[in-house]
Amino acid sequence: MLSSGFHGFDRASLTTVLSACDGLDFLGVTQMVHGLVVLRGYERETAVGNALITAYFKCGCFVSGKRAFDEMMERNVISWTAVVSGLVQNEFFEDSLSLFKEMCCGPVLPNILTYLSALSACAGSQSLQRGCQIHGLLWKLGIQSNYRIETALMDMYSKCGNVQDAWQIFESAEMTDEISMTVLLLGFAQNGFEDEAIQIFLAMVKAGSEIDPDVVSAVLGVFGADTSLDLESFWC
């Protein structure tokens, strides 16, 4: 469009282009669109700012993404969640949790997507204490039974080495599926509970569940680590 001499971009078209920018290869496009945003005077608009934040983080340019957030005149829950999530995606777990804490103390409160990102940050940093604090907050808010929250809590507890609590959440969950079973299986395997990991694997096979490649690798790792395990003894 630019090469043909068409420069009449409006905010909607610029936001659409930014939403398509995903990966380092699109960093140049994101920066070019950012320039057009400034040229058109859209940089103060929250929706455009949110799109810029998301695009920069998806391109791995977290410095520019955080700067776009800092320069926003008005931030909504999407703005905050975009940065909290973007920092997690780029493995800046501590920065993500610090920003989440700041958000909790401000006028814009987290939504479920923000909590999911914060739990991922706890899992990535193996911060059990903060994960438990978030779990307590979710309980007070009455949203701890949300399916996605339960799965994220299981993942957090497993990666923090507390597979017992992950199992309790799985047992009390109103709905379980192959995703939650995969999370639990990987948690058991990673924490040395080989028998339990195999039992879940066999239950998934018998139920005809789609088996994730990570699950296959984990199960093979279990048998590779413990030659005393016999698949036939579990199956029969």
pLDDT score of 235: 43
**Residue 211 in 3-state DSSP?**
coil
Give the residue among 111, 46, 109 at the shortest CA–CA distance from 75: 46
- The pLDDT tens digits of the residues spanning 155-173 come to 999 999 999 999 999 999 9
pLDDT band at 92 (very low <50, low <70, confident <90, very high): very high
- The pLDDT tens digits of the residues spanning 138-147 come to 999 999 999 9
Measured CA angle at 196 (ends 184, 145), to 5 deg: 30
- Which tokens sit at 199? 């039992």
Angle between the N-to-C axes of helices 178-190 and 147-159, in degrees from 0 to 180, rounded to the nearest 10:
10
Q: Which residues contact 102 (CB under 8 A, 6 or more apart)?
A: none
Taking 70 as the threshold, does the pLDDT of residue 230 lie above it? no
Domains in the chain with CATH codes: 1-74 (no CATH), 76-175 (1.25.40), 177-236 (no CATH)
- The pLDDT tens digits of the residues spanning 22-39 come to 877 889 999 999 999 998
H helices of the chain, where?
11-19, 27-40, 46-58, 62-70, 77-89, 93-104, 112-125, 128-141, 147-159, 163-172, 178-190, 194-206, 213-225, 231-235
Distance CA 205, CA 220 (A): 15
Give the residue among 134, 111, 139, 109 at the shortest CA–CA distance from 121: 134
> Dihedrals φ, ψ of 168, to 5°?
-60, -40
pLDDT score of 226: 52
Looking at every residue in the chain, the average pLDDT score rounds to 88
